Chains A and B, each alone.
Chain A
Amino acid sequence: MRSAQRLAWVLLIVAGLAAGAAILGPSGRWGGVDIGATGAAIFMLSLVAGIALFATRGEQVFPDHMSVSERRAWVGLAFIAIILSSYFHEMWVLSVRGDFPDDIQDLFANRFMQKLIVPVIAWSLISHLIGSRSGGVESDERDLRLRHRADRAGDWAFTLIVIAGICVLALIPAPLLAWWLSPIVLANLLIGLLIAKSLVEHVALALAYRAGSA
């Protein structure tokens, strides 16, 4: 394993632990240290270090046998997993507190959306850097075929989740639904549905590349 690969693994583990601390311990303290804030700060630093790593030694981070699209697929999987974890945490916190905003306009001002900004920018930058370092064809018909297969897996997951949602809504008594299913809750659930679909697509794509067949 090359030094850049070792460094990438260290950064990934640090980022994962820091994201876990930021997500699970926003108000917890350990030895007088704000775990959530410290985790968030370390997570941001690891993202910056990751961008710097890809900018300087990007071609050494992944094994040589991986194509640009495969590298992007694995990076995307890591980021979408972080985004989904953050989403579930936000939904859990909001449901426990019971302070979902009433106004639909507040949707894009809530903490989850704010937390999304930096990871999405880092994801875009790293994806761009992976492509800029390749110097050749970034994707071809095999990549498109694998992407199409992953998209179909995402469509199936989307359909199954929607059917499951319909069943749940049908089984919950109407008064109970009226109590918690506000427009803003529904909007947040739909955002979660889109993130889950994207996660399934990224998992399917990464597994398809790993299997090495189209």
Chain B
Amino acid sequence: MTATVVNRIREWRGATSQMTQQELAQACGVTRQTIIALEAEKYSPSLELAFKLARALGRNLEEVFQYVEKN
């Protein structure tokens, strides 16, 4: 069994918050490239960054990130 962290950053950023990747990056104190990597699920953020992202998107942590186990 493998587990992975999936996220809905792109969905919440675009559909609800209308933020650009650069704006979200500035709000969280990271580079735009990190937002790109997160949205492509090539990078799992630290807990601190995960909370910052959720707060910047106006969501709860579990609305943005899910821990998914796969067989």
Interface residues, chain A, with chain B CB atoms under 8 Å away: 65-70, 136-143, 212-214
Q: Does B36 interact with chain A (Cβ within 8 Å)? A: yes
Task: Please name the residue on chain A nearest to B45 by beta carbon.
Answer: A141
CB pair A142 B26 closer than 8 Å: no
Report B-chain residues with C-beta under 8 Å of the C-beta of A138: 31
Task: Please name the residue on chain A nearest to B28 by beta carbon.
Answer: A140
CB pair B31 A140 closer than 8 Å: yes
Q: Does B29 interact with chain A (Cβ within 8 Å)? A: yes
Report B-chain residues with C-beta under 8 Å of the C-beta of A143: 31, 34
Task: Please name the residue on chain B nearest to A70 by beta carbon.
Answer: B33
Q: How far is the CB of B26 from chain A (nearest CB, A)?
A: 7
Q: How far is the CB of B21 from chain A (nearest CB, A)?
A: 11
Report B-chain residues with C-beta under 8 Å of the C-beta of A137: 25-26, 29-31
CB pair B42 A67 closer than 8 Å: no
CB pair A140 B29 closer than 8 Å: yes
Q: Once bound together, how far apart are the Cα atoms of A140 and B32, in whole Å?
A: 10
A137-B25, A142-B31, A143-B34 are known contacts; what are 6 more A-B pairs with Cβ within 8 Å? A136-B25, A140-B30, A140-B31, A142-B34, A214-B42, A214-B43
Q: Which 5 pairs across A and B sit closest by C-beta, in order of nearness? A: A140-B30, A67-B33, A213-B42, A142-B34, A67-B31
Q: What is the total number of residues of chain B having a CB less than 8 Å from a CB of chain A?
A: 18
Q: Does B40 interact with chain A (Cβ within 8 Å)? A: yes
Report A-chain residues with C-beta under 8 Å of the C-beta of B22: 136
Q: How far is the CB of A210 from chain B (nearest CB, A)?
A: 12
Task: Please name the residue on chain B nearest to A141 by beta carbon.
Answer: B46
Q: Does B5 interact with chain A (Cβ within 8 Å)? A: no
Task: Please name the residue on chain B nearest to A213 by beta carbon.
Answer: B42
Q: Once bound together, how far apart are the Cα atoms of A71 and B40, in whole Å?
A: 21
Residue-wise interface mask of B (42-58) relative to A, using a CB-CB cutoff of 8 A (1 in contact, 0 not):
11111001000000000
CB pair B43 A136 closer than 8 Å: no
Q: Once bound together, how far apart are the Cα atoms of A214 and B46, in whole Å?
A: 12
Q: Once bound together, how far apart are the Cα atoms of A138 and B22, in whole Å?
A: 13
Whether A212 contacts B40 in the complex (CB less than 8 A), given A140-B34, A141-B45, comes out as yes
CB pair A142 B43 closer than 8 Å: yes
CB pair A212 B29 closer than 8 Å: no
Listed A/B pairs (10) with beta-carbon separation below 8 Å = A65-B33, A136-B22, A136-B26, A137-B26, A137-B29, A140-B29, A140-B30, A213-B42, A214-B42, A214-B43
Q: Once bound together, how far apart are the Cα atoms of A140 and B29, in whole Å?
A: 8
